[in-house]
Structure 1
Amino acid sequence: MEMKQQTTFLGQPRGLGTLFFTELWERFSYYGMRAILLYYIIAKVSAGGLGMNHSMGLAIVSIYSSMVYLSSIFGGFLSDRILGAWRTVFIGGVLIMFGHITLALPFGRPALFVSIALIVMGTGMLKPNVSEMVGSLYSLNDTRRDAGFSIFVFGINFGAFIAPLLVGQAAKMFNYHIGFLLAAIGMFIGLIVFHTASRKSLSKATYYPTDPIQPEDIRPLIFKSIYGLTAIILIIILMYLYDALDLKAIILLLSILAVMVPIVYFVTMLTSRKTTHEERSRVRAYIPLFLAAMLFWSIEEQGAAILALFAHDQVRLPIWLNAAWFQSLNPMFIMLYTPIFAILWVKLGQRQPKTPTKFGIGLLFAGISFLVMALPGFLFGINGLFSPWWLILSWALVEIAELLISPVGLSATTKLAPRAFRSQMMSMWFLSDATASAINAQIVQFYTINTEVRYFTVVGSITLLAGLLLLTQVKKISNAMVGID
């Protein structure tokens, strides 16, 4: 793929600027909507919400996050085999924008589920391919690579930082639907930036699929699609016949699907004739990184579910403070930490810790962040209101973990990807989030004020122990990466 080597954006290839601002506005729309989604679902109908119970609201938010990232498989396939990255990203942005517009309409639960479907499809098309396009700006051994991904992640988090502040306040001052409309406007701005700037800054190769579908592939693809659709219809019919076709059962079914998909996908890549022996070793090395990322995302994604509910119900808030604003803590700390980590990796150069080491240390911080959330209930009981500093400390810790895992994981994924599965391998990175959120959709239903101390302690301890185990396997994993640092 043609490389753009102009260093015109913060010492990075020019195309990084285009992708930086595109993803900034897409994340504004996503995180703005997500900052108020749980509150909209659980708010009373008389207060402009949908009136669902807390348990179901937590499950919906979690499975929504899962499906957003699970759909990246579809987006990676479209990019690699049919549309190319540029067209896939643009069409995805359009779907996201209309998804937010749908949620801005006062049509209750039907609008919620239609909106979720559109945003799920759109994000699956846009997000993995934007990240893959960032990877394509660099050669495998370009020392700017991790720093470039850190800058890219900074753009993501700037959009995510301002979104809860603006969208959350719009929802509070007016209503939830105005907040969702503001999210739609953010995606519209992102589409304009991408369409106008990309032609001058990105490789022409992004307009074409990297592994175009061949005539002989069409017939098997059609049959596989028919088989899959038939299986889904049969499952739905069986659920209906056994009186199990309710929202909770559907969420469980989707959770099982999200857990099974990465297993099938790893098997496919490892057994494909298009995967070389060296690439197969790299994919095997990627599996423990995938599992570590899954544990991290399980904690991080609960910021919009469990921690959002904690902020709403159990934090002592000044009258001027909006509970949705706590969602800005995540990206705020990322922005504070990103320059430090970017400079650190550049200065260390070849002496920086290996990727598995970064992941292991990241898991330690993630686990501790949840153990911190167990402390207020353990020390003071569960019946009072707590200081917001507990949430601030927890987010400060987990975002150290994110800087050790998220940009490093994005970079490692593009380096370890088999050539024939480039965009689809990037989808695997997002599948770690999908699987984590799918598991969350089940476990968050056990969270209540009465169980919160045990909940935070168990989840935090499992993650902490996993980090220690990963650190014992660094040499073995690094050797399997075959020439990739």
Structure 2
Amino acid sequence: MSKYSKEEIVNSVPQKGFFGHPKGLFTLFFTEFWERFSYYGMRAILLYYMYYEVTQGGLGLDQSTAASIMAIYGALVYMSGIIGGWVADRLLGGSDTIFYGGVLIMVGHIVLSLPGSLTAFFVSMIFIVVGTGLLKPNVSSVVGDMYSTNDYRRDAGFSIFYMGINLGAFLSPLVVGTVGLGISFHLGFALAAVGMFFGLITYMVTRKKNLGLAGKQVPNPLTPDERGRVAKRLISGVVVLALILTVSIMTGVLTINRLTLLVSILGIVIPVAYFTVMLRSDKTTADERSRVIAYIPLFIAAMVFWAIQEQGAIILAQYADQRTNLNFLGMTIQPAWFQSLNPLFIIFLAPVFAWLWTKLGSKQPTTPKKFSYGLIFAGLSFVVMLFPAYFNGTETLANPLWLVLSFFLVVIGELLLSPVGLSTTTKLAPVAFSSQTMSLWFLTSASGQAMNAQLVKLYNADTEIAYFGIIGAVSIVIGLLLYFFAPRIQTFMRGVN
């Protein structure tokens, strides 16, 4: 495949046509809008589908098992982004990888929409995990392809794109959640499949005209010899893995609990391996090695943060279903609707934080201090959830405003940590490991959710106060320690602010 310069790629994209931005932003905005509608709609009812009784249309799993599956599912989605990056960089380029990822996601939701067994459920999860891994990281990469390096519209373009993500995430629990819980889980999953179908249609119809060469280039293509070797290894690996899984499941060696434990271990082993390779590599300079060391406590902080934030779709979703008074102000609330709170608060608060950092300028907190504040707010979002049980016991249904407050606090923490983390990752990454380090950032969520696979098993009515109190307190303590060591971490960052 021909190599294109950055200038050739940018010039191939119509640079006006979507609110003063490249026309391709329209294509990627609505592709990601529908993909997020599909993903978050499915996720809003997935936990309930797993633990509701068969007579209620669910699978009838134990609640702690269902919660663990939700956690490992989230972890695997982010781990699979590594596969998506490799496929785009070595085989297909970002544009085609996005399309095939969307197709796999839609197939996964179609499988979910058909009444089936637990085996069919896990098959659908494989499709969705791999498909999301192919699509999710590459959409953002193609957005960047459309702008020249010094284009002043670049940050605003990503902000508009980010709004599409959150609009899809906001609407889908309201639509899919209402249909899935009010009519049929399978009909809800079918709506998620339809959402991904709309995304694919938008992408297919407009990408040739709007995206030009963006995402077409394969940065580091495999040679013909390498393709043969990779194909053989891939086929052999899939066959061996399928045989091991089949034998393990049939003999009872591989249980759901052992699978969750394996994913939890991978959530720790993979980032440790990443850090070890970067620190020991001859390609890493002394300054870069110092910055990698500075990145380690930030990684741990982000991992703890996402462990709490992602429980909004697990423990807080279960809390909304079983511990919350869903009759409020004369209306009946669907428990899935609470999943819309996170993107709703982000839509309203993100511009506020952007204004705040601009206003503070050089006086704004350092990166480690922003991370520490993010952890403290995440901890507070859990601490407030112990009060309903503390004051009224676990037999009384809680006011839904407690959940609203919890989601609000964790979103403040997210806006302090997540955008800053993305920016800091690009600054601290060694030149030879720039792409891998971005993958490492996404592993903070994977590792946090891998940790959740074990944590969520501890939650029940008897442990509710201790669960929220201890996890919240641990997050706050780590946040305070990070604040205390922030100046020291800043020195290791070697001039990066």
> Same fold by TM-score, threshold 0.5 exceeded?
yes
* Whole-Å separation in 1 of the counterparts to 2:292 and 2:212: 27
Kindly state the Cα deviation for residue 132 of structure 1 after the two structures are TM-superposed. Answer: 3.2
Aligned to 1:177: 186
Q: 1:392 to 1:198 in 2, by over 3 A?
A: same
* Whole-Å separation in 1 of the counterparts to 2:24 and 2:360: 25
Residue by residue over 1:437-474, the C-alpha shift from the partner in whole angstroms, topping out at 9 and shown as x without a partner, is 11101110110011011001111111111112222333
Q: Work out whether residues 149 and 411 of structure 1, in 8 Å CA contact, stay in contact via their aligned partners in 2.
A: no
Length, aligned pairs only: 485
Aligned to 1:457: 469
Of 37, 51, 56 in structure 2, the residue corresponding to residue 42 of structure 1 is: 51
Aligned to 1:387: 399
Aligned 1:274-313 pairs, distance under 5 A: 275=284, 279-313=288-322
Of 246, 249, 259 in structure 2, the residue corresponding to residue 250 of structure 1 is: 259
Aligned to 1:411: 423
Tell me if 1:78 matches 2:84: no
* Whole-Å separation in 1 of the counterparts to 2:92 and 2:488: 38
Which stretch shifts more, 345-354 or 332-341?
345-354
Which stretch shifts more, 138-147 or 279-288?
138-147
* Whole-Å separation in 2 of the counterparts to 1:88 and 1:11: 27
Amino acid at match of 1:307: L
Kindly state the Cα deviation for residue 354 of structure 1 after the two structures are TM-superposed. Answer: 3.1
Of 2, 7, 25 in structure 1, the residue corresponding to residue 6 of structure 2 is: 2
Amino acid at match of 1:293: A
Q: 1:205 to 1:386 in 2, by over 3 A?
A: closer
Q: Work out whether residues 371 and 417 of structure 2, in 8 Å CA contact, stay in contact via their aligned partners in 1.
A: yes
Aligned 1:181-260 pairs, distance under 5 A: 181-199=190-208, 202=211, 204=213, 206-214=215-223, 243-260=252-269
* Partner SS state of residue 462, structure 2: helix
* Whole-Å separation in 2 of the counterparts to 1:451 and 1:179: 32
Amino acid at match of 1:47: Q
Percent of pairs with identical residues: 52
Q: Work out whether residues 51 and 63 of structure 2, in 8 Å CA contact, stay in contact via their aligned partners in 1.
A: yes
* Whole-Å separation in 1 of the counterparts to 2:430 and 2:17: 30
* Whole-Å separation in 2 of the counterparts to 1:265 and 1:71: 15
Kindly state the Cα deviation for residue 316 of structure 1 after the two structures are TM-superposed. Answer: 0.8
* Whole-Å separation in 1 of the counterparts to 2:105 and 2:317: 23
* Whole-Å separation in 1 of the counterparts to 2:456 and 2:410: 18
User: TM-score, length-normalised on structure 1?
Assistant: 0.89
Q: 1:94 to 1:478 in 2, by over 3 A?
A: farther
* Whole-Å separation in 1 of the counterparts to 2:85 and 2:494: 25
Higher RCO structure (Cα 8 Å, ≥6 apart) = 1
Tell me if 1:90 matches 2:99: yes
Q: 1:200 to 1:292 in 2, by over 3 A?
A: farther
Aligned to 1:363: 375
* Partner SS state of residue 398, structure 2: coil
Q: Work out whether residues 292 and 466 of structure 1, in 8 Å CA contact, stay in contact via their aligned partners in 2.
A: yes
Kindly state the Cα deviation for residue 204 of structure 1 after the two structures are TM-superposed. Answer: 2.6
* Whole-Å separation in 1 of the counterparts to 2:155 and 2:298: 16
Which stretch shifts more, 43-52 or 348-357?
348-357
Aligned to 1:327: 339
* Whole-Å separation in 2 of the counterparts to 1:144 and 1:278: 31
Amino acid at match of 2:107: F
Which stretch shifts more, 330-339 or 206-215?
206-215
Tell me if 1:397 matches 2:409: yes
* Whole-Å separation in 1 of the counterparts to 2:262 and 2:358: 45
* Whole-Å separation in 2 of the counterparts to 1:12 and 1:202: 12
Residue by residue over 1:116-162, the C-alpha shift from the partner in whole angstroms, topping out at 9 and shown as x without a partner, is 00000011111122233445566788887666544433321111110
Q: 1:205 to 1:288 in 2, by over 3 A?
A: farther
Q: 1:444 to 1:270 in 2, by over 3 A?
A: same
Aligned to 2:117: 108
Kindly state the Cα deviation for residue 252 of structure 1 after the two structures are TM-superposed. Answer: 1.4
Which stretch shifts more, 82-91 or 294-303?
82-91
Q: 1:463 to 1:226 in 2, by over 3 A?
A: farther
Aligned to 2:166: 157
Tell me if 1:123 matches 2:135: no
Q: Work out whether residues 145 and 215 of structure 2, in 8 Å CA contact, stay in contact via their aligned partners in 1.
A: no
Aligned to 1:336: 348
* Whole-Å separation in 1 of the counterparts to 2:398 and 2:53: 24
* Whole-Å separation in 2 of the counterparts to 1:395 and 1:263: 31
Tell me if 1:434 matches 2:446: yes
User: TM-score, length-normalised on structure 2?
Assistant: 0.87
Which stretch shifts more, 241-250 or 227-236?
227-236
Q: 1:374 to 1:142 in 2, by over 3 A?
A: farther
Q: 1:81 to 1:41 in 2, by over 3 A?
A: same
Kindly state the Cα deviation for residue 196 of structure 1 after the two structures are TM-superposed. Answer: 4.0
* Whole-Å separation in 1 of the counterparts to 2:37 and 2:197: 11
Of 176, 188, 196 in structure 2, the residue corresponding to residue 167 of structure 1 is: 176
Kindly state the Cα deviation for residue 381 of structure 1 after the two structures are TM-superposed. Answer: 1.3
* Whole-Å separation in 2 of the counterparts to 1:240 and 1:308: 30
Which stretch shifts more, 412-421 or 47-56?
412-421
Which stretch shifts more, 264-273 or 223-232?
223-232
* Whole-Å separation in 2 of the counterparts to 1:143 and 1:261: 36
* Partner SS state of residue 207, structure 1: coil
Amino acid at match of 2:274: Y
* Whole-Å separation in 2 of the counterparts to 1:139 and 1:310: 47
Amino acid at match of 1:60: I
- Which consecutive residues of structure 1, in runs of 5 or more, have no partner in the other structure? none
Amino acid at match of 2:390: F
- Which consecutive residues of structure 2, in runs of 5 or more, have no partner in the other structure? none
Q: Work out whether residues 92 and 125 of structure 1, in 8 Å CA contact, stay in contact via their aligned partners in 2.
A: yes
* Whole-Å separation in 2 of the counterparts to 1:428 and 1:79: 17
Kindly state the Cα deviation for residue 315 of structure 1 after the two structures are TM-superposed. Answer: 0.5
Q: 1:362 to 1:16 in 2, by over 3 A?
A: farther
Q: 1:127 to 1:320 in 2, by over 3 A?
A: same
* Whole-Å separation in 2 of the counterparts to 1:455 and 1:361: 21
Tell me if 1:473 matches 2:477: no
Kindly state the Cα deviation for residue 356 of structure 1 after the two structures are TM-superposed. Answer: 2.4
Which stretch shifts more, 63-72 or 75-84?
75-84
Q: Work out whether residues 145 and 214 of structure 2, in 8 Å CA contact, stay in contact via their aligned partners in 1.
A: no
* Partner SS state of residue 220, structure 2: coil
* Whole-Å separation in 2 of the counterparts to 1:116 and 1:353: 41
Q: Work out whether residues 2 and 205 of structure 1, in 8 Å CA contact, stay in contact via their aligned partners in 2.
A: no
Q: 1:413 to 1:24 in 2, by over 3 A?
A: farther
Tell me if 1:267 matches 2:276: yes
Tell me if 1:60 matches 2:69: yes
Aligned to 1:33: 42
Amino acid at match of 1:91: Y
